[in-house]
C-alpha cells in the first residue's frame, strides 16, 4: 500500500502500546485488499475498514465507485483510439486519486500527532486563502467545471 509506510511512520510508538487507529482498522491486516467477496459492483477493491464507516458513507462510496468505473472504461476506450489522450487521462486519474503525502505529513507534523495522538481531538489546523488573480470562486465557474468533467447541469454542486 502506498500509505502504509507513512501510516507506520506517523503512528509507530515503540515506547507505548499499539496505536488504537490501526488496531481499529484491522491491525496488521489494515489496508490489505480483499478481492472477490469484498469487491464493489464497479470492480473497485475495498480496503479493510470498519463496517460502520462504510455504512455512514455508502452513498459517497457508491458515487465514487461509479465514477472510477466510468473513468477506467473511458481509459480503455481511449487506449484503442488515442494513446496520447489515454496517457493524459491516466495521469489525471492517478493525480486526483493519489494522496498528497507532503500535505498530509506537513499537517501531521504541525499538529504534533506523532508526539501525542490526542492532539488530533484537541487542536485544529487552519489554512487561510487569499484572493489572487486567476483564482476563481467555485460558484462563478461551476458551469465550466461541470462541462470539463462531463457532468449534467447542477450535478457539480454535489461534489462541493
Q: What is the DSSP string of 20-37?
A: HHHHHTTGGGTT--EEEE
Q: Is residue 146 predicted with pLDDT exceeding 70?
A: yes
- Intra-chain end-to-end CA distance of the chain, in Å: 28
Position 158 scores a pLDDT of 82
Q: What are the backbone dihedrals phi and psi of residue 32, each rounded to the nearest 5 degrees, phi first?
A: -75, 130
Q: Could you give the dihedral angle defined by the CA atoms of residues 49, 51, 53 and 54, in that order, rounded to the nearest 10 degrees?
A: 90
Confidence of residue 3 (pLDDT cuts 50, 70, 90): low
Averaged pLDDT, 94-102: 69
Q: Is residue 26 predicted with pLDDT exceeding 50?
A: yes
Residues present in the chain in total: 160
Averaged pLDDT, 125-137: 70
Q: Is pLDDT larger for residue 64 or for residue 2?
A: 64
pTM, two decimals, is 0.38
Position 129 scores a pLDDT of 64
Averaged pLDDT, 117-138: 74
Position 140 scores a pLDDT of 86
Q: Is residue 108 predicted with pLDDT exceeding 70?
A: yes
Position 36 scores a pLDDT of 43
Q: Could you give the dihedral angle defined by the CA atoms of residues 73, 91, 37 and 11, in that order, rounded to the nearest 10 degrees?
A: -160
Amino acid at each position: 500500500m502506498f500509505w502504509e509506510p507513512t501510516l507506520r511512520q506517523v503512528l509507530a510508538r515503540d515506547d507505548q502500546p499499539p496505536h488504537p487507529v490501526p488496531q481499529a482498522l484491522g491491525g496488521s491486516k489494515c489496508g490489505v485488499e480483499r478481492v472477490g467477496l469484498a469487491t464493489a459492483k464497479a470492480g473497485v477493491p475495498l480496503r479493510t475498514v470498519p463496517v460502520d464507516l462504510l455504512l455512514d458513507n455508502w452513498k459517497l462510496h457508491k458515487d465514487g465507485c461509479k465514477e472510477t468505473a466510468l473513468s477506467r472504461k473511458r481509459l480503455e476506450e481511449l487506449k484503442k483510439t488515442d494513446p496520447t489522450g489515454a496517457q493524459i487521462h491516466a495521469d489525471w486519474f492517478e493525480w486526483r486519486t493519489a494522496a498528497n503525502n507532503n500535505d498530509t505529513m506537513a499537517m501531521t507534523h504541525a499538529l504534533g500527532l506523532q508526539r501525542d495522538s490526542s492532539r488530533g481531538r484537541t487542536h485544529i489546523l487552519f489554512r487561510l486563502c487569499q484572493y489572487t488573480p486567476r483564482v476563481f470562486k467555485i460558484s462563478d465557474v461551476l458551469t465550466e467545471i461541470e462541462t470539463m468533467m462531463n457532468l449534467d447541469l447542477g450535478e457539480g454542486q454535489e461534489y462541493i
